[in-house]
Chain A
């Protein structure tokens, strides 16, 4: 189990959704994230830049044929922070007496 640590950066609503999607994947394309989250290009770029600055995500740009492709993955630090955040949320709920197990 991870050490519980509430992470304010991850907990912001849009970032929580974004990091949760990334946590379930090895990598995801920018376009996929934008569609799944219903964000504009600029809004997603802004969130990714914040997470990248914190060292939580790695953004890679490449080309498939002539088409540019941007893929994103959670870094090791990002995954650790996410796991700690989930543990902290579970602790908060458990302390209130409710079960948090799915």
Chain B
């Protein structure tokens, strides 16, 4: 049976489909507070280890484990839908992998540079730089991933 809807109604339905997909993608992105929270935990943990005081290393390690668990659980429990993996595509996965590699490289380069320059607490300097970069670029990364996912054609199209 042929459908009896007008092209305008069909276009309206397609716009609704697109809107709902954007809604689903937006709802599953990592919130803005996640990046500074993980960054702060990372800096505190590195500083505790670098202090070389056993009690501080112990307290720092436990606080880091508990803090990270709390942050991840908060994000995981907030997620009440899992966006379709296929929407991320090769570009999205490559962006995430590239982002992580850049952060690791930044932390290492800054840390070793600080050490060779004779600065105190070089690892903490490296972690703080990485944390700052995460805080500054976490949301732009989310915006990029959102753009990648919502740019894919709706339906079965590739």
Contacts and interface: CB of A to CB of B under 8 A. Distances in A.
B84 A20 contact: no
Interface size bracket, A side: 35 or more
24 contacts: A2-B155, A16-B13, A20-B16, A20-B19, A24-B24, A24-B83, A25-B82, A27-B82, A28-B24, A32-B27, A32-B81, A36-B23, A36-B27, A83-B155, A83-B156, A87-B157, A89-B10, A90-B10, A90-B14, A93-B11, A98-B11, A101-B153, A102-B18, A102-B151
Of the listed residues A17, A21, A24, A89, the one surrounded by the most CB atoms of chain B closer than 10 A to its CB is A24
B152 to A, nearest CB: 9
Contacts of B153: 101-102
B112 to A, nearest CB: 41
Interface string A1-13: 1100010100100
Nearest to A13: B16
